[in-house]
């Protein structure tokens, strides 16, 4: 129970993908987990399911990561209720495929707001809470190999956001380090869940598997394992790092 007596906050965690896998992993390891998502009913149900499955204290809160005041209210509320926040996982992200030459500005802004500005606002508030309460904690952001390499057509906004997460993580790590707070990121390749089939299609997924040296696409649990490692004491001397989890599809140097 590696995270016993730790309080973990995870954004965008009520879907079928990485966020929920992260929340479940921390709960299985003994953490008190607060998960957020912008769908109130689904968030409450996922939290209740995880609590029942793990026997841990798991709470779901409604949050749109584009809402600055809402972020401050939720994070302050978690700290007030539990007395601390030890781990923050910025999982929020969205992709709306649109070729660059015809991409509406609102689409660009929406993807950047959810995938980059939201994590910035969550990190800013969390850092203040952790500093004020003397918590030597960890923040883990969700980047992507899309920030490093070629992407599918229509992903220029997503690639820009994820490259931004990489730079932001390294800069935040340097500012947080004097306070004993580590900031890292995970950069997954394709981590399959049924929702992605609606975006990319089965042929894309099959081709990704063929091109991956380990012979398959990733699963949400593969990414959740990496997140938990970076948040753990086993990674106590790691900060400002971007951990690639792609089965060898992209070899990060």
Q: Which of 82, 158, 204, 249 is catalytic?
A: 158
Q: What is the pLDDT of residue 148?
A: 92
Q: Which two tokens stand for residue 140?
A: 């883990």
At residue 23 the predicted structure's pLDDT band, cuts being 50, 70 and 90, is very high
Nearest to 84 by CA among 120, 124, 47, 129: 129
pLDDT score of 87: 98
pLDDT tens digits, residue range 55-113? 999 999 999 999 999 999 999 999 999 999 999 999 999 989 899 999 999 999 999 99
Q: Determine the longest span between alpha carbons in the chain, in angstroms.
A: 50
Does position 230 have pLDDT exceeding 80, yes or no?
A: yes
- pTM, rounded to two decimals: 0.95
Mean pLDDT of 191-197: 78
* Beta carbons within 10 angstroms of residue 29's beta carbon: 19
Q: Closest by alpha carbon to 153, among 106, 199, 112, 222?
A: 199
Return d(Cα 143, Cα 161) in angstroms, integer.
8
Q: What is the C-alpha to C-alpha distance for residues 201 and 53, in angstroms, rounded to an integer?
A: 32
- For 45, phi then psi, to 5°, come to -65, -45
Let me know if 250 is a catalytic residue. Answer: no
Domain boundaries, the chain: 7-245
List phi, psi (to 5°) of 225: -60, -40
∠ Cα 91 203 98 (to 5°): 55
Cα torsion angle, 20, 24, 30, 32, sign: positive
SS3 label, residue 216: coil
Residues 32-56, mean pLDDT to the nearest whole number = 97
142-188 residue pLDDT tens: 999 999 987 778 899 999 999 999 999 999 999 999 999 999 999 99
- Which one-letter DSSP state was computed for residue 235? G
Q: Which residues does 124 contact at the CB level (< 8 Å), separation at least 6? A: none
Judged against a pLDDT cut of 70, whether residue 199 lies above it is answered with no
pLDDT at 198 over 90: no
CATH architecture of the domain with range 7-245: 3-Layer(aba) Sandwich (3.40)
Q: Are the CB atoms for 72 and 80 separated by under 8 Å?
A: no
Provide the pLDDT for residue 150.
76
35 bridge partner residues? 10, 60
- In whole angstroms, how far apart are CA 53 and each of 56, 116, 130, 143, 184? 8, 32, 29, 29, 29
């Amino acid at each position: 129970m590696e995270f016993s007596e730790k309080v973990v906050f995870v954004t965008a965690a009520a879907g079928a993908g990485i966020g929920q896998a992260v929340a479940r992993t921390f709960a299985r390891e003994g953490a008190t987990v607060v998960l957020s998502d912008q769908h109130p009913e689904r968030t409450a149900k996922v939290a209740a399911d995880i609590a029942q499955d793990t026997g841990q204290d798991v709470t779901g809160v409604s949050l749109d990561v584009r809402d600055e005041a809402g972020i401050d209210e939720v994070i302050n509320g978690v700290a007030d209720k539990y007395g601390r926040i030890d781990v923050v996982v910025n999982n929020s992200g969205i992709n709306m495929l649109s070729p660059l030459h015809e991409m509406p500005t609102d689409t660009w802004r929406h993807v950047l707001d959810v995938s980059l500005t939201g994590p910035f606002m969550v990190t800013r508030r969390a850092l203040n809470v952790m500093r004020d309460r003397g918590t030597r904690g960890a923040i883990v952001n969700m980047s992507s190999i899309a920030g490093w390499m070629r992407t599918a057509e229509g992903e220029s906004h997503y690639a820009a956001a994820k490259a931004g997460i990489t730079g932001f993580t390294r800069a935040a790590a340097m500012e947080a380090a004097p306070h004993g707070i580590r900031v890292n990121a995970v950069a997954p390749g394709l981590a399959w869940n049924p929702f992605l089939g609606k975006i990319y299609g089965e042929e894309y997924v099959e081709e990704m598997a063929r091109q991956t040296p380990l012979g398959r696409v990733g699963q949400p649990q593969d990414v959740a394992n990496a997140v938990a490692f970076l948040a753990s004491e086993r990674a106590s001397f790691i900060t400002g790092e971007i951990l690639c989890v792609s089965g060898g599809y992209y070899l990060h140097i």
